[in-house]
Each structure stands twice: as C-alpha cells, then as structure tokens.
Amino acid sequence: MKILITGGGGFLGSRLARVLQAREPKATITLLDMAFPPGLERDFGCVKGDVAARDVLEGVLGDDTDSVFHLAAVVSGGAEADFDLGYHVNFDGTRNLLEACRKLLRPPRLVYASSVAAFGGVLPDVLDDSTTPAPQTSYGTQKVVGEYLVADYTRKGFLDGRSLRLPTIVVRPGKPNLAASSFASSIIREPLAGIAVDCPVPETTGVWILSPRRVVEAFVHAHDLAASAWPTTRVANLPGITLSVREMIEAMGRVAGPDTTKRVRFVPDARIQAIVKTWPVRFRTDRANAMGFKADPDFESVVRDHMESMATA
C-alpha cells in the first residue's frame, strides 16, 4: 500500500503518519511539506517541495499511490494576510494534486482537510448538514472551492474523495502559527508550560473544538468508510464541542490547578476578532455522528491528552 500525506511535516500530518505506520507497517508512506521536524525523515519518505508544483506532485505520487491525505494549507490568518500565497497553496495546490491523482493507474482514495471557515455571514444559532457554506475569508473560500473540486473529480471517477470540515483543533503543540484560531491553543498550551499569554478575543468568544487525537482518528475513519457511506455528498461537518474562552480556561484550571488560569491576559486584537467572529460556534452533526465520527467527551479530557502527549514527547 502506498500513501501520500501532504502537509506531512505539520503536527497533524506527522501524527497521522505514525498512526498509519502502526496500523499498516508494510505500507510505503511519503510525506510532502516545505520542512520537517527532527527525526521524522528517519522513519518516513520525506520530500521537501511546493505542494502546488505539478512535477513535485507527480514525483511523490508515482503511478500507483493508493491513498492520499491532503492536509497541506496556508492557514486562515496567513491566507488573509497574503492573498497570492493563500491561493497558490490552498487552491492551486489542491487542483494540481487532483490533476496528478487523475493520472494514476487506479483512482486513489483521497481525504481532504477542509474547515468550518467554509461558513460565515448571517448564520442560524445552530448549523446543521443543510446549512449552505458562505465563507467570509479567503481561507474559507479556498477550502470550499477545494470541496467542490474533490466532489467533481469523484463524480467523474478520477478519485474517491471525501472532505472533512474541521473544527478548531485544540491543543496544537509547538509555537503559535498564523491561524486566526491559534489563540485557542495558546491560552492552554502556554499556561500549562508556565508561560503568560495574551488572548486576543473576549472571554465570551465561542469556539467549536476538536482535539488532535480525535481529528487524526477522523482522517483514518473517513478513509476507511466505503464509498457507499457517502451517497449524497462527499463532505461531512465533524462533531465537536462548543466552549467559550472562559470555559476553556476554567477547565484547564480544574485539571492543572488555578495558577494556570492566572497566566492568561486579555489583550484585544481587532484583526483576529474580525476573522473569528465570522466563524460558526454550534453545530448539529447528525450525519457525521451516524457515520461513526466522534467528538471529545469534554474539554478536561482534551487538556489531559495534551499534558500526556507533552510528557512523552
């Protein structure tokens, strides 16, 4: 079995690679990204290159790749700040990847990481599977276009695609990135490490959350589902839990002690607030639930997962 993970140098891509390696020890797993953390190149075929370059894509796919996980992206704040780069990676990269998949000997199974940034504008209090995407950012627009491309290439029989709209992933390890949602991890990650952190949004801000462990499980589950499990649409809104920033901080305090909560300072950032306020907060994910996707049981378990992963890192 041959597997390609774009964005494989990122924390989700690398975690996914290790899960797939444990499950399929004889599989050939190739990771494509612009950079890789230390040690990853020892265990996987790591290719540094532009995800939007057709020659790079055709080179890593060969002619017999079975499965593709397309996670590579310029994140929300980055795509908003650099319009050209966002479209190069998030649009051109997706279209060129699908074109490269089209040339394979057999249609591959492809899992595409989309986002709840697909939604925006005037929204109902609770979104469901019938809510129409209306993105209000370049990142959200690029993700929705990618969903439509995956669906159309699937309809034509060029590949077997399935797209997942990801909630905000918390807690992301490492350093803050350009994602507008980066604060949601920073207000947990940094205080747990003994570091003070500025939160750019009000404590009443709601966030739709899924843990890294659950999202990696979702990628694998989406891949394993039969094509018949996606009869009407190739997109699923992943389950998550809704919390305010204050509720997240209080949950951290219950798990790790009240001193951690004192390390969060509220320092408004109008740019981040303008992006985040367009995002939906509450979903009813009946379809994804019926398909077997799972949310985290509570935020305390998310905090514990992060603490355990850092202890073993």
Cβ proximity of 31 and 46 under 8 Å: yes
Nearest CA to 303 out of 259, 263, 248, 264 is that of 248
Cα–Cα distance between 151 and 157 in angstroms, integer?
10
Task: Tokens for 181, please give them.
Answer: 């949602």
3-state secondary structure of 132: coil
Cα–Cα distance between 70 and 29 in angstroms, integer?
13
φ, ψ for residue 207, nearest 5 deg: -140, 135
Nearest CA to 312 out of 12, 15, 7, 6 is that of 15
Cα–Cα distance between 53 and 61 in angstroms, integer?
12
Task: Tokens for 141, please give them.
Answer: 């627009």
3-state secondary structure of 266: strand
Please report where in the chains the tokens 């699923």 appear, as a residue: 236
Residues 6+ apart with CB under 8 A from 107: 101, 157, 158, 159, 160
Catalytic site residue from 87, 139, 148, 153? 139
Cα–Cα distance between 303 and 250 in angstroms, integer?
11
Cβ proximity of 86 and 104 under 8 Å: no
- Residues in the chain, total: 313
Q: Is 264 exposed, middle or buried, given 0-12, 13-18 or 19+ CB atoms closer than 10 A?
A: buried
φ, ψ for residue 175, nearest 5 deg: -100, 160
Quick check: is 153 catalytic? no
Q: Which residues are catalytic?
A: 139
